Amino acid sequence: MEIKVRAGDITQAEADAIVVNLFEGEQPGGATAAVDKALDGAITRLVENGGIKGKSGEVSIIHTLGKLPARMVAVAGLGKRQDLDLDKVRGVAGGYCRSLRKLNCHRIATIVHGAGIGGIDAEASAEAVVEGSLLGLYSFANYKKPEYEDIAEIVIVEREGDKLPSLERGVCKGKILVEATSLARDMVNEPANHMTPSRMAEIAGEIAGKGKLGINIFDSSDMETMGMGALLGVSKGSNQTPKLITLSYKGDESSERAIGFIGKGITFDSGGISIKPSKDMAEMKGDMAGGAAVMSALSAIAQLRPKINVVGIIPATENLPSGSALKPGDVLKAMNGKTIEVMNTDAEGRLILADALSYAVKQGLSPLIDLATLTGACIVALGTGYSGAFSNDQKLLDKVLEAAGRAGEKLWRLPLPEEYKEQNKSEIADIKNIGNRHGGAITAALFLGEFVDKTPWIHLDIAGTASSSKESGYVVKGATGVGVGTLVELALSLAEGGICT
């Protein structure tokens, strides 16, 4: 798919379909008014008789019957003017792109939405159009042919030629983010017999090669040397060798400091000996979504080149039951020396993250951001629209919330109450890996907090947001690629710009 920016008049665009827009409860304005005029007032009449309402997500198709070079006009509803934001633009673009693909459109021309009278920055809107369109059109086609033929070209048409450079910048960043988010989606959608820890390491190698990143792949003997008993413990039940992957981006030669992104990389979570029910177990191929987001974010950061140093750390292993598997009651020793009593082998994410976070602290990385499909309890608490955010540092949390807002990813803060730590106390070890029945997302986060020392840290529980059961806006069924946008925006905001700015 090619995305281009061109100066000109959208009414004259040579395409299968041209896309204009309409606010709910308003008359056509700007480019929409120009198209309306060329269609002898067809849009106005449809608005008047209630055929087009302008509701967010509404896509109305009008056949031009030779009145314009394009075969069709799509009028995309933007919803109420005061409610329009960048994430709505992404959703609208995803929606009309999928509609037009179903109608066999190969070439689309669109305006940037909300940029003129909508009050949205044109560069940001162009970025959102690219992100929404391409992510909305995403499909995982590794094992069967996609249902519809791909759209080959999207042209963003702008009337004012002097706006082109800023639109190009938006398109540049949008493309990089889409590529990274699609990589994360691909990795999460890939079945676990293909997306093994070794395959994740291989992909990390490809990312490092392309982006000139530093890379380390540690295997079980390295883990033994480093004292990573918790990660090794989880990996024991599987025939797949575990990998601890690190990717390092050096964007600031003048500094030794680096921030750390840590992502849970359980390539399949059966629960281990504390085995999960078979219903929905297949979904646990996606238990490496945090790791995929970290790897993909680093691939985008390598292209955007902000002035900052970033290290990504991904502990990757399967969690399976077998004769050599970890058992309830076993005691493991993490890299930071803490002993852990394993009361439930299905609470394995916090075990592998205990070692990954200890490693990050030992490397002196700060601040730390971890992403993990960690608890079903977080889904019970927040549903599937919000990731849980836990932090020991208010300033960092504010930065991450801002970054997530720009990326269109929703986070909701949950507390880390001192008094709940009681639940993680073990009779025979420093800590145990489950709390009691209530507040499971919180006790899991408190467990992770035992391995970050005093480092400013944020934990994002993405169990509910990493995949979607329905198609909506720029989200399609399956993996969402959540986290990539937040991590990239965070790196950009902590640094000084990037190549697209």
Smallest distance, ligand BES to C-beta of residue 65, A: 50
* Residue with smallest beta-carbon separation from ligand BES: 376
DSSP code per residue over 177-219: HHHHHHHHHHHHHS-TTTS-HHHHHHHHHHHHHHHT-EEEEE-
Among 376, 426, 430, 471, contact with ligand BES (rule: CB under 6 A): 376
**In contact, 234 and 227? CB cutoff 8 Å:** no
Give the catalytic positions in this structure: 276, 350
Asked if 230 interacts with ligand BES (CB under 6 A), we say no
* Ramachandran class of 20: left when φ > 0, alpha when ψ lies in -120 to 50, beta otherwise: beta
Asked if 463 interacts with ligand BES (CB under 6 A), we say yes
Smallest distance, Zn ion to C-beta of residue 269, A: 4
Pick the closer one to ligand BES by CB: 73 or 479.
Answer: 479
**In contact, 211 and 298? CB cutoff 8 Å:** yes
CB environment 151-170: b (16+ within 10 A), e (fewer): beebbbbbeeeebbebbbbb
Distance spanning both ends of the chain, measured CA to CA: 23
Pick the closer one to Zn ion by CB: 37 or 276.
Answer: 276
Q: What angle do CA 203, 227, 423 make, to 5 degrees?
A: 95
* Half-sphere exposure at residue 399, Cβ-oriented, CA atoms within 13 angstroms: 20
Q: Which x/- pattern over 430-449 shows residues binding ligand BES (rule: CB under 6 A)?
A: ----x-----x---------
Q: Where are the alpha helices (DSSP H) in 190-328?
A: 197-211, 220-226, 229-235, 289-304
**In contact, 466 and 286? CB cutoff 8 Å:** yes
Binding part of the chain for ligand BES, among 81-89, 197-205, 367-375, 398-406 by CB under 6 A, reads 367-375
Asked if 136 interacts with ligand BES (CB under 6 A), we say no
Among 58, 348, 355, 409, contact with ligand BES (rule: CB under 6 A): 348
Pick the closer one to ligand BES by CB: 110 or 373.
Answer: 373
Q: How many residues bind ligand BES (CB under 6 A)?
A: 15
387, containing H or E segment: strand 387-391
Q: Which does 35 bind (CB under 5 to 8 A by kind): ligand BES, Zn ion, none?
A: none
Q: Which does 205 bind (CB under 5 to 8 A by kind): ligand BES, Zn ion, none?
A: none
Asked if 373 interacts with ligand BES (CB under 6 A), we say yes
Pick the closer one to ligand BES by CB: 331 or 343.
Answer: 343
* Interactions with ligand BES, residue window 269-298 (CB under 6 A): 269, 287
Binding part of the chain for ligand BES, among 255-263, 370-378, 388-396, 471-479 by CB under 6 A, reads 370-378
Q: Which two tokens stand for residue 199?
A: 């395959």
Q: Which two tokens stand for residue 252?
A: 């600031």
Asked if 381 interacts with ligand BES (CB under 6 A), we say no
Pick the closer one to ligand BES by CB: 226 or 281.
Answer: 281
For 395, counting Cβ atoms within 10 Å of its Cβ (0-12 exposed, 13-18 middle, 19+ buried), the class is exposed
Among 36, 87, 346, 489, contact with ligand BES (rule: CB under 6 A): 346
Smallest distance, ligand BES to C-beta of residue 428, A: 19
Taking Cα atoms as reference points, which of 84, 161, 77 lies closest to residue 117? 84
Question: Which residue ranges make up the site for ligand BES (CB under 6 A)?
Answer: 269, 287, 344, 346-349, 373-377, 434, 440, 463
